[in-house]
Structure 1
Amino acid sequence: MKITLSLFLSLIFTSCLYRPTVTVKEDFSDDWAMLRKYQKENDSIGPPKKGEKRVVFLGSSIFEIWKQKDPEYFRNRAYVDRGISGQISPQLLIRFRQDVIDLKPKAVIILAGSNDLAGNRGHVSNETILSNIKSMAELAKLNQIKVILCKYLPIYEYPWNKSLKGTAEQIISLNKEIVSYAESENFTILDYFTPLVDERNGQKAEYTTDGVHPNLAGYKVMEGITDAAIMKAIGK
């Protein structure tokens, strides 16, 4: 088959014009705290309406799964869930301005520490966790946001890290320090530990899916005591 000069030049020209579309995936490696997760939602939520007593729930998977298990609990109240599964306390601290302060809530509920302990390779202590909690609480106070600190849910062991020993004791120890700090600063204490604990200092089987995360029944228990703590902190 003979190719004329004009056909040859046409083929060359066409090949020069054709450029395959290459999708460049945005690099989020610098967003260690996953600020992007709630950024658009925060932009659309707007400031609190007149008389609205907004409360932000800041934590990890316990809070994120809560709104999936029982979305009505958040839909019918001025409660804003800002949980991100797997996050540790320094990530919550980085998110605090965007996901709490900028939303101008009346109160913030801070549930932190378990993931720090779950991945402990010797670099995590009660002191490091409490330092991050204190920083968040101090930021809240500076911005006239009432602070509600949580006693963490009981955990006997982490199913994904069973080699970690003494988990129940670590949770109890951390809770004692959180309560001591909260009392010294006159913060409201939200006790998720006592109503869910069993004889091993783990979660009661009827309230959990895996010994760490509550099932719907567990969340129903948490809802009652959460509402009571919020009322104590900011009233109706």
Structure 2
Amino acid sequence: MNQETYPAMDGEKLDKLRNYRMLNRFAAKGQTVLVGSSLMEFFPINELQQTLPGTYCIYNRGIAGFVSAELLASMEACIFELEPSKIFINIGSNDVGTPDYRLERLLANYDDILTRIGRRLPHCSVYVMAYYPVNAKAEFPGVSRAAMEEVFRYRTNEALREANAAIAQLTHRHGYTFIDVNEGLMDEEGNLRAAYATDGIHMNPDAYARVLGNMQQYL
């Protein structure tokens, strides 16, 4: 893997992909894999899976900053080399958060991702996760509201809900399962609970513990 392979990716993302490819050589095949952007990479699944009854082997292959096109270009390292029996996908919230976002383009990329999984891993169970809500109202220690204003101009709960509805339909057309594991994450206004957020978008371990509890029936 080199810079020419993924010309649009920055060095940090490429470094993570290289590291994943090395780790994949030691990983057990046929296990559960989490893929997505920072909201997946920051999921502390190594620690949290130890709270579950029974024994699980879950690999996290999320990469912060990823958009759907980048996951599409990285499926070998993030998914196929592991030959998973189950995949949980949370990708596209960064697409929604860009000024040139188009729902049709996100759906086209998602459709390609799910099509490739179906061809390469026909017996794999695929779970497409709903996007988490955001909180553009609360104040967070060390986070400048001014710096986040541009982010929340596009990445709104309304836009995320619209994307969720469209991706749910796409997921069902592929014969896969769309799951909403947001129960307990939202306040009375539908925002991400301030107690669960670090900056209005990203979440702390308590939030992920809630998410894992909601995911448990699918594991």
Structure 1's 30 and 193: CA in aligned 2 closer, same or farther, altered over 3 A? Answer: same
Task: Quote the residue 2:153 is aligned against.
Answer: 165
Verify: 1:40 aligned to 2:22, yes or no.
yes
Task: Quote the residue 1:184 is aligned against.
Answer: 173
Q: Judge conservation of contact 1:189–1:229 (CA < 8 Å) in 2.
A: no
Q: Judge conservation of contact 1:55–1:79 (CA < 8 Å) in 2.
A: yes
Residue 29 (structure 1) shift: 6.4
Does 1 or 2 have the higher relative contact order (CA < 8 Å, sep 6+)?
2
Structure 1's 139 and 29: CA in aligned 2 closer, same or farther, altered over 3 A? Answer: closer
Q: What does residue range 1-236 of structure 1 map to in structure 2 within 5 Å?
A: 28=3, 30-31=5-6, 32=9, 34=14, 35-45=17-27, 47-48=28-29, 54-67=31-44, 71-74=46-49, 77-118=56-97, 120-122=98-100, 124-142=101-119, 143-144=121-122, 145-157=124-136, 160-163=147-150, 164-165=152-153, 167-230=156-219
TM-score (norm 1): 0.74
Residue 74 (structure 1) shift: 4.6
CA RMSD of aligned residues (A): 2.4
**Structure 1 gap segments, 5+ residues each:** 1-26, 231-236
**Structure 2 gap segments, 5+ residues each:** 138-144
Q: Judge conservation of contact 2:135–2:193 (CA < 8 Å) in 1.
A: no
Secondary structure of 2:200's match?
coil
Task: Give distance in 2, aligned partners of 1:37 and 1:114.
Answer: 24
Structure 1's 37 and 157: CA in aligned 2 closer, same or farther, altered over 3 A? Answer: farther
Higher Rg: 1
Indicate the percent of aligned positions where both proteins have the same amino acid.
Answer: 25
Q: Judge conservation of contact 2:196–2:203 (CA < 8 Å) in 1.
A: yes
